[in-house]
Amino acid sequence: MFEQAVKSAAKQLRSGDVVVLPTETVYGLAANAFDEKAVAKIFEIKGRPAHNPIIVHVVSLDMARSCVTAWPDLAEKLARAFWPGPLTLVLPRAERIPSIVTAHGPTVGIRWPSHPLAQAIIRECGLPLAAPSANPSNLLSPTTVEHVVKALGDRVPLVIDGGQCQVGIESTVLDLTVSPPRVLRPGIIHDEALIAVTGTLSDRDAQQGQAVKSPGMLAKHYAPRAKLMTLNWRNDRELRQQILNTSNSLAGCHVIAHSVIPSAEGFDRVSVIPHDPEAFARALYAELHCCDELGAKVIIVESLPKTSEWTGIADRLKRASAT
C-alpha cells in the first residue's frame, strides 16, 4: 500500500501533475517545484492569488541548499535542530526555482517535512515539491483526507491518505534574510524554541505596520464559514451572559473549551480539546471543520493561555475570527 501510493504519486508528480499528500502539519497540494506549468495548476486549483509564494519541500540538507543561493550558519543550525519538522526557512531563491513559486520575489521558503509518506514521495521523485495547504485560498487547512475531498473534491487527480496530521497547524515560517531573524508565521515551533538556537528574534511588536511580507500574515485567513469568537469565562453563567450580550442566541453556538467546561444545555454542541498546546493544535482544525459541517452559526473558543507554546494557535484563532 505504502509503496504503491508512493510510486503512483511520484509518477504523477514527475509527469507535471499535482497530488495531494499528507505532511505532519496539514495536507499539501504538491507539484514539481522546478516545473512552472505544474505549479501554475496549484494556483488555479486553490484560487490562490499570484502574490502568495509557495513553500518548497525537500528531503535533505543538500536538496535544501540546491534551492537557495545562500545557506548561512544559522540555517544549518536551525535545520539540524528542527528538520525534519514544522519549520519553514525563508532564504534567497536559487535561479532553478521558477519565480512563479516565490510569487516573483527574491526569496524562497524551504521545509523538510517529517511525515514518512511525504518524505518517501519526495525521495522517489528526486525533486523538491512546491506545496501549499490543500484548501481553497483563505479557508481552513485540511488535516484529514475527508477535509481535502470535501473542499477540493474532483479538482485534484490524486489524493494520498496519510491519516490525521500530527501537528495540525501550518509550519512556523522564519525569515532568515533579515537580521535578527523574523517570524512571519508563528507555529508549534515557538519563539522560545527558536531563540534557543538563534539567540535572538526580531521583535514582533516592532513588525506592526511594516509591509506584509507573508500573505499568511493577512488579518483574515484560515477561516471557518461560521463566525468565530474567543471568550474567557470563569463559569457557565458568565459564558452564557457574554454570548447574550453579543446578541447571539445560544442555539446555533458551538463551544470549544479546554479548561472551564460548560454544560451543553442550550448550545448546539460543546466539545473539549485537552488543555495542552500540542493536543489543541492537532484537534483544532478538525473541530472547526466539524462545526462548519454541522451548520454552526457561531463558534466560541475558550481563550488561550498567553505563553509562548500557544502563540501559533492564538495566531490562527485571531485570523479566523477577523471580519
* Closest C-alpha to 97, from 124, 49, 130: 130
55, 174 in Cβ contact below 8 A?
no
Q: Are 18 and 45 in contact (CB under 8 A)?
A: yes
**Piece of 101-109, 229-237, 241-249, 251-259 that binds ligand TXA (CB under 6 A):** 101-109
Minimum distance, C-beta of residue 52 to Mg ion, in the bound complex (Å) = 8
Which cell goes with 276?
495542552
88 binds ligand TXA (CB under 6 A): yes
The CB density around residue 167, as the number of other CB atoms within 10 Å, is: 23
Residue 214 in contact with residue 185, Cβ under 8 Å? yes
Strand partners, 87: 172
Interacting partner of 198 out of Mg ion, ligand TXA, none (Cβ under 5 to 8 A depending on kind): none
Residue ranges in 129-188 that form contacts with ligand TXA under rule CB under 6 A? 131-133, 170-171, 173, 184-185
- Kindly state the DSSP code that residue 110 receives in the 8-state scheme: E
CA dist 247 and 276 (Å) reads: 31
Beta carbon of residue 132, minimum distance to Mg ion (angstroms, whole number): 5
Q: How far apart are CA 49 and CA 95, in angstroms?
A: 22
Closest CA to 121 of 33, 1, 13: 13
- Does 119 sit near Mg ion (CB under 5 A)? no
| Span between the terminal Cα atoms of the chain, in Å | 44
Nearest approach in angstroms of CB 306 to ligand TXA is: 23
Q: Is 55 in contact with 197 (CB distance < 8 Å)?
A: no
Residue 166's binding partner out of Mg ion, ligand TXA, none, with CB under 5 to 8 Å set by partner kind = none
Which of Mg ion, ligand TXA, none does residue 119 bind to, with CB < 5 to 8 Å depending on kind?
none
Binder to ligand TXA among 84, 128, 186, 216 (CB under 6 A)?
216
Residue 264 Cβ vs ligand TXA, minimum distance, rounded to whole Å: 33
Give the shortest CB-141-to-Mg ion separation in angstroms: 5
To ligand TXA, the closest distance from the beta carbon of 222 in angstroms equals 9
Binding partner of residue 90 among ligand TXA, Mg ion, none, CB cut-off 5 to 8 Å per kind:
ligand TXA
Q: Which 220-249 positions form the footprint of Mg ion (CB under 5 A)? A: none
Return the amino acid letter for 116: P
**Of 214, 230, 303, 308, the one binding ligand TXA by CB under 6 A:** 214
Give yes or no for residue 133 binding Mg ion (CB under 5 A). Answer: yes
10 Å CB burial of residue 300 (0-12, 13-18, 19+) is: buried
- The answer to the question of residue 119 lying near ligand TXA (CB under 6 A) is no
| Residue 95, C-beta contacts closer than 8 angstroms, at least 6 positions apart | 69
Closest distance to Mg ion from the beta carbon of 253 (Å): 27
25 binds Mg ion (CB under 5 A): no
Identify the CA nearest to 301 among candidates 103, 25, 269, 49: 269
Site residues (vs Mg ion, CB under 5 A): 133
Site residues (vs ligand TXA, CB under 6 A): 23, 25-26, 28, 52-55, 86, 88, 90, 102, 105, 107-109, 111, 113, 131-133, 170-171, 173, 184-185, 213-216
